[in-house]
Structure 1
Amino acid sequence: MSGGKFRSGGRDKCRLHMVTWNVATAEPPEDVRSLLHLDVQPPTDLYVIGLQEVNAAPVRFISDLMVEDSWSHVFMDTLAPRGFVKVTSVRMQGLLLLIFAKQIHLPFIRDIETTYTRTGIFGYWGNKGGVSLRFSFYGHMVCFLNCHLAAHMNYALQRVDEFEYILDTQDFDTDDTRHVQDHKVVFWFGDLNFRIADHGLHFLRSSINSGRMNLLWSKDQLTMMKKKEPFLQEFEEGPLNFKPTYKFDRNSDTYDTSGKKRKPAWTDRILWRIKPQSPPAEEEDDRASTSTDNGQDEYPIQVIQDKYTSDMSYGVSDHKPVIATFSLELRKCFDTTLVHVSPEGVWSADQDAVLNYTVQEDFMSSTWDWIGLYKVGFKSPSDYETFVWVREAELPELNEVIQVSLDKEDIPLLGGQYVLGYYSANMQSIVGLSANFQILESKRAVMEGLVPEKNLNGLNK
């Protein structure tokens, strides 16, 4: 699957890195690299980043709808040079959810769909609620749900009610995964706002300072609510061995010294749920479980949490970001792309170019599908240099080789490493990628003074 993949008992293993962070309307820091653990081995395959309280002032929010917001930009600028592409995102006022994947995985991420639910101010205002993003990953349906629930100590029951309402009201177009809980794996995360009950401020701080977080676990409201609510018991969470991530003085690692002196709490959480079997599956350990969809699915998937921690080095917000990393062990339902696409011959801006594509499996293709020319290191499916429609009137037959020409005026003069991607309008995703290939520098580039004549790879001789 990637450099981060290895075989495990007949399954492929994919590395998932998740971040949740209430950014308290702050602008992003210049450097988010330590947040993403970029140099971890084996390397990451998927990044999921959920933010809360992104600046949603009316003028700012409208501008963000027209162009990418500043948080999306900083993550794309950091991850694109590492070969990660933003698959898609969903935004509801201050809630933002971003998914990035290694380029090699893009054709195997299908059936992408997003939705959102407002719970703030009688359900009409989106300052609280949940945004979700679901897709099929090598044939396994997964869903990511980023929530910001009601604040304050006394609203634990309301937080549970809001989460249940989000689960009940969110629905998708695919019949067998109509609801969030129908997916094989659900990741629930965000500023869930659960607090630590009963303990006084002095006891809380002394327990934290002495590293005895376990003294606080029994009074964590989410932990207590899980004992009462069966639907919450289906969600798993790693041990809270990191310091509570709320509330800090900004640009410091000191808990709230303002007049309010908010009690520290684990408001920021990452949990996951495996779709239960019937009869219930036996868990391999307290951090891993397997789904086989009532015994009818021959492709089990396993989720193992590798790390659950926070990053205290970031101070732009009064919350600290929380990070969880997982190993997803799965048997791929398929390993063939829906469309094979490749360049034909030598490409340069001195002549029209030709590409071939072949539909290898039936899918809901459309005359609105297109093939984009991407520079290696592209940031998202819309980050193309140019594109061509696949067919204006009719769709190709299965396994029929189709040739499409690209006008030389649309080919980059300076050349470089590029890749072709077939974008499906119905599936909202790239379903075929060529191998990386070289576009040669053009004679026109020298004539226009863009490159020295000696860099022309012999084309001007």
Structure 2
Amino acid sequence: MGEKHIILPRLITSKLSQRQKLCGHRNVAEISGVVDETLGKRPLDGQNDMLRYRVFTSTWNVGGMTPSSDLDLEDWLDSRANSYDIYVLGFQEIVPLNARNVLGPRNSCISTKWNSLIGEALHKRRGAAEMHPEITNSSAMERSAQEDHFRCIMSKQMVGIFMSVWVRSNLRPYIHHLNVSCVGSGIMGYLGNKGSVSIRFVLHETSFCFVCCHLASGGKQGDVLLRNFDAADILIRTRFPGGATQELPKKILDHDQVVLLGDLNYRISLEEAETRLLVEDKNWSILLENDQLLLEFSTGQHFDGWQEGLITFSPTYKYHPNSDQYYWCFDGALGKKKRAPAWCDRILWRGKGLKQIQYDTCNYRLSDHRPVRAVFHAECDIRGDADCACGCITLSSSSD
């Protein structure tokens, strides 16, 4: 197809050149969904050591559905395992993307409800004394209780995009320079029906940035270009304060470790009839060979330096709500909504010291999307004289 025939009314020429300069690409890294949990140790200068944390990330387009007050999120968050130090949760369409919600005042009731449900799931476990009957002194019991308790350190909503970050209470003193940045890339190229919410912080001496995106939708020819442009625009326009006394990362890619998650909306580049047959046969391998995002990786023109785990799960969109059946397969479904299944919901990452150990989906039927989860081991630099009481594993740079 010739690009000159594709009209992009919300993208101006000056931005196109910026985006093209920014987007260099390489192949997606084919790492397994679950790998050995033993991390290698990277050399550090001076007297620095490393601490290792387990970071749970997830994205979920909830399709404008309001959650019930008794919705149990324990399975989604795997909170019974009590094995994660940081939770980063990104939502899309927590409210319907109608004119009232896009142009009117922000409705924070729904995001507050989601945060309440998250908090309930993270804390729905027995008391510290019951879980640790061997603990007898009060200081040890208090420390154990802090390790079991999570705090929401930042949450932010932009229209339907919502991001919430939770950490163990005993980790909070080591987090600093917490900031948020929002970029609207929807109607007219700036409204918040599409775009991103990014949250960054520095943990010990390592900077993290988490980006929750909702990119341009559509399965027509040329729509993939809009998604590419949205992704590049988010990288260009997202800005954080640089700090008065300390030089801090100002852009997303300046951070040590970055995770980008969301409804990226990339589809399958096949004719509908062929796609339908492959879906009915559950031939995910052929479908993945024609996945638009993986094709963008393979061209070497976009997402340079980003990685994604090997996809071993079914397409995450479009399901009939409250069903395990794809909407496309429903005989009574409206024609305009018979969208072919696709892996719209993705988690990408980059940065030294960040290692993915899990990449999967979870069978919640609230919306027409399934939530996608990724778990990481994250190594953080600390000063050699730092007094860490957070209970994490120290990896000395002098070790083998």
Give the TM-score of the pair, scaled to structure 1: 0.62
**Distance (whole Å) between structure 1 residues aligned to residue 307 and residue 259 of structure 2:** 9
Name the structure 1 match of 2:172. Answer: 106
Go from structure 1 to structure 2 and tell me whether the alpha carbon gap of 1:231 and 1:66 turns closer, same or farther (over 3 Å shift).
Answer: same
Name the structure 1 match of 2:232. Answer: 164
Measure how far apart 1:225 and its partner are. Answer: 1.3
SS of the residue corresponding to residue 177 of structure 1 reads coil
Measure how far apart 1:6 and its partner are. Answer: 9.1
SS of the residue corresponding to residue 324 of structure 1 reads strand
SS of the residue corresponding to residue 122 of structure 1 reads helix
- Report if the CA contact (8 A) 1:250-1:316 is conserved: yes
1:69 maps onto 2:112 in alignment: yes
Instruction: List per-residue Cα deviations over 1:208-242 (Å, max 9, x = no partner).
Output: 45543221122111111123354403110011110
CA RMSD of aligned residues (A): 2.8
Residue identity over aligned pairs, in percent, reads 30
- Report if the CA contact (8 A) 2:184-2:190 is conserved: yes
Measure how far apart 1:329 and its partner are. Answer: 2.6
1:36 maps onto 2:77 in alignment: yes
**Distance (whole Å) between structure 2 residues aligned to residue 113 and residue 146 of structure 1:** 14
**Matched AA of 1:140:** T
- Report if the CA contact (8 A) 2:111-2:157 is conserved: no
1:273 maps onto 2:320 in alignment: no
Name the structure 2 match of 1:361. Answer: none
**Distance (whole Å) between structure 2 residues aligned to residue 255 and residue 54 of structure 1:** 21
- Report if the CA contact (8 A) 2:66-2:110 is conserved: no
Instruction: List per-residue Cα deviations over 1:117-168 (Å, max 9, x = no partner).
Output: 1111113421000110000012111100000011111310111011111111
SS of the residue corresponding to residue 342 of structure 2 reads coil
Go from structure 1 to structure 2 and tell me whether the alpha carbon gap of 1:206 and 1:8 turns closer, same or farther (over 3 Å shift).
Answer: same
Go from structure 1 to structure 2 and tell me whether the alpha carbon gap of 1:252 and 1:171 turns closer, same or farther (over 3 Å shift).
Answer: same
SS of the residue corresponding to residue 25 of structure 1 reads coil
- Report if the CA contact (8 A) 1:247-1:265 is conserved: yes
**4+ aligned runs moved over 6 Å, structure 1:** 5-8
Name the structure 1 match of 2:357. Answer: 306
**Matched AA of 1:247:** K
**Distance (whole Å) between structure 2 residues aligned to residue 140 and residue 79 of structure 1:** 25
Name the structure 1 match of 2:205. Answer: 139
Measure how far apart 1:63 and its partner are. Answer: 7.2
Name the structure 1 match of 2:189. Answer: 123
Name the structure 2 match of 1:184. Answer: 256
- Report if the CA contact (8 A) 2:101-2:159 is conserved: no
**Distance (whole Å) between structure 1 residues aligned to residue 180 and residue 300 of structure 2:** 27
- Report if the CA contact (8 A) 1:46-1:101 is conserved: yes
Single out whichever of 120-129 and 93-102 deviates more from structure 2: 120-129
**Matched AA of 1:327:** H
Measure how far apart 1:73 and its partner are. Answer: 1.5
Name the structure 2 match of 1:328. Answer: 378
Name the structure 1 match of 2:136. Answer: none
Name the structure 1 match of 2:52. Answer: 13
Name the structure 2 match of 1:228. Answer: 299
**Matched AA of 2:284:** M
- Report if the CA contact (8 A) 2:155-2:162 is conserved: yes
Name the structure 2 match of 1:94. Answer: 160
**Distance (whole Å) between structure 2 residues aligned to residue 333 and residue 156 of structure 1:** 45
SS of the residue corresponding to residue 204 of structure 1 reads helix
Name the structure 2 match of 1:259. Answer: 334
SS of the residue corresponding to residue 31 of structure 1 reads coil
Name structure 2 gaps, 5 residues minimum: 1-36, 42-48, 125-147, 391-400
Which structure 2 residues correspond to residues 206-217 of structure 1 after superposition, within 5 A? 206-208=277-279, 210-217=281-288
Name the structure 1 match of 2:92. Answer: 52
Name the structure 2 match of 1:317. Answer: 367
- Report if the CA contact (8 A) 2:183-2:197 is conserved: yes
Structure with the higher fraction of residues in helix conformation:
2
Go from structure 1 to structure 2 and tell me whether the alpha carbon gap of 1:7 and 1:198 turns closer, same or farther (over 3 Å shift).
Answer: closer
**Distance (whole Å) between structure 1 residues aligned to residue 204 and residue 186 of structure 2:** 36
Measure how far apart 1:35 and its partner are. Answer: 0.2
Instruction: List per-residue Cα deviations over 1:105-124 (Å, max 9, x = no partner).
Output: 10111100001011111134
**Distance (whole Å) between structure 1 residues aligned to residue 154 and residue 382 of structure 2:** 22
- Report if the CA contact (8 A) 1:147-1:188 is conserved: yes
SS of the residue corresponding to residue 382 of structure 2 reads coil
Go from structure 1 to structure 2 and tell me whether the alpha carbon gap of 1:91 and 1:188 turns closer, same or farther (over 3 Å shift).
Answer: same
Structure with the higher fraction of residues in strand conformation:
1
Name the structure 1 match of 2:289. Answer: 218
SS of the residue corresponding to residue 113 of structure 1 reads strand
Go from structure 1 to structure 2 and tell me whether the alpha carbon gap of 1:128 and 1:334 turns closer, same or farther (over 3 Å shift).
Answer: farther
Larger radius of gyration: 1
Go from structure 1 to structure 2 and tell me whether the alpha carbon gap of 1:168 and 1:240 turns closer, same or farther (over 3 Å shift).
Answer: same
Instruction: List per-residue Cα deviations over 1:362-402 (Å, max 9, x = no partner).
Output: xxxxxxxxxxxxxxxxxxxxxxxxxxxxxxxxxxxxxxxxx
**Matched AA of 1:83:** H
**Matched AA of 1:146:** C
**Distance (whole Å) between structure 1 residues aligned to residue 112 and residue 354 of structure 2:** 32
Aligned residues: 307
Measure how far apart 1:15 and its partner are. Answer: 0.7
Go from structure 1 to structure 2 and tell me whether the alpha carbon gap of 1:208 and 1:15 turns closer, same or farther (over 3 Å shift).
Answer: farther
Go from structure 1 to structure 2 and tell me whether the alpha carbon gap of 1:229 and 1:335 turns closer, same or farther (over 3 Å shift).
Answer: farther
SS of the residue corresponding to residue 213 of structure 2 reads strand
Name structure 1 gaps, 5 residues minimum: 275-289, 291-301, 341-431, 433-461
SS of the residue corresponding to residue 187 of structure 2 reads helix
